[in-house]
């Protein structure tokens, strides 16, 4: 997983990777400001022994460090690049007590892992996303959307229009927190967070994500050669057709 630290650096690193010139020494690594020590270059996972998963963070400054986490499944970056969110076991089980799993925040500057306030009450929500300012999270269940404000942990539940029994995946929250996109039953849908009203955006897409400035919505078509479609986030008009990608802004 690679996280954008700045648009300029992201373009440089992407160019280096595509052209294969980093190891050839034709382009020097760009100078990185010291005020961004939390921004990792790469995140990886290890499991040794089995069942004891750790995230390995390779920061652009300093040595790599490890963070215990319950599972690598569903781990995602906050839009500002300062933290990771995912399921973890913040309190070790004692004796035969059941293992408690909760959504957690992993601060990439300190390595500290803490439960998301109010999230322990959430069950049966399979997709989640966090806002740009990390002041709210959105969770999707089969029939409901839950908005969790931070750090007070207050919960607001919204019924989803046209709910069915299909699992939601690939949730992305707009920077203003008012809209989300997610995939259900093979179809990309736009979700109004305040009302739960949904709008189909196409059966040909399998994932979508908002740009950090909220001006664009990018969606990737299904299939190995699926193109990346760039839409105007306001009108949802398709503006550009790009090549296949993994859709990391």
CA dihedral 50, 55, 58, 64 (to 10 degrees): -70
Per-residue pLDDT of the chain (249 residues; tens, 9 = 90+): 434 344 334 433 332 333 233 333 343 444 445 554 455 556 666 666 555 677 777 776 677 777 766 655 667 888 887 888 887 765 555 566 555 667 888 887 777 888 888 887 777 677 889 888 889 899 988 888 999 999 998 999 999 887 777 888 889 999 888 999 999 988 999 999 999 999 999 899 989 999 988 899 999 999 888 899 999 999 999 999 998 887 777
Quote the CA–CA distance of 186 and 194 in Å, as a whole number. 24
Which alpha helices (DSSP H) does the chain contain, by range?
Answer: 7-19
Q: What is the pLDDT of residue 212?
A: 84
* Region of residue 214 (left: phi > 0; alpha: psi -120 to 50; beta: else): left
Residue written as token pair 């690598």: 72
SS3 assignment, position 198:
strand
Structure pTM?
A: 0.71
Q: Residue-wise over 163-172: b if at least 16 C-beta within 10 A, else e? A: eeeeebebbb
The pLDDT value given to residue 124: 67
């Amino acid at each position: 997983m690679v996280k954008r630290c700045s648009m300029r650096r992201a373009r440089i690193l992407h160019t280096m990777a595509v052209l294969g010139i980093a190891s050839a020494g034709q382009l020097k690594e760009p100078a990185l400001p010291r005020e961004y020590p939390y921004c990792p270059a790469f995140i990886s996972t290890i499991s040794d022994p089995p069942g004891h998963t750790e995230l390995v963070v390779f920061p652009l400054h300093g040595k790599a460090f490890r963070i215990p986490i319950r599972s690598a499944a569903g781990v995602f970056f906050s839009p500002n690049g300062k933290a990771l969110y995912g399921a973890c076991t913040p309190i070790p089980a004692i004796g035969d007590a059941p293992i408690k799993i909760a959504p957690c925040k992993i601060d990439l500057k300190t390595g500290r892992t803490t439960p998301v306030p109010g999230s322990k009450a959430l069950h049966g929500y399979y997709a989640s996303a966090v806002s740009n300012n990390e002041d709210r999270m959105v969770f999707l269940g089969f029939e409901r959307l839950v908005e969790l404000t931070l750090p007070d942990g207050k919960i607001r539940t919204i019924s989803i229009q046209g709910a069915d029994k299909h699992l939601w995946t690939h949730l992305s929250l707009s920077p203003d927190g008012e809209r989300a996109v997610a995939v259900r039953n093979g179809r990309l849908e736009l979700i109004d967070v305040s009302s739960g009203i949904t709008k189909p955006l196409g059966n040909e897409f399998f994932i979508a994500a908002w740009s950090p400035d909220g001006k664009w919505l990018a969606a990737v078509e299904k299939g190995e050669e699926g193109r990346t479609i760039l839409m105007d986030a306001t009108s949802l008009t398709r503006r550009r057709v790009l090549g296949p990608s993994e859709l990391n802004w």
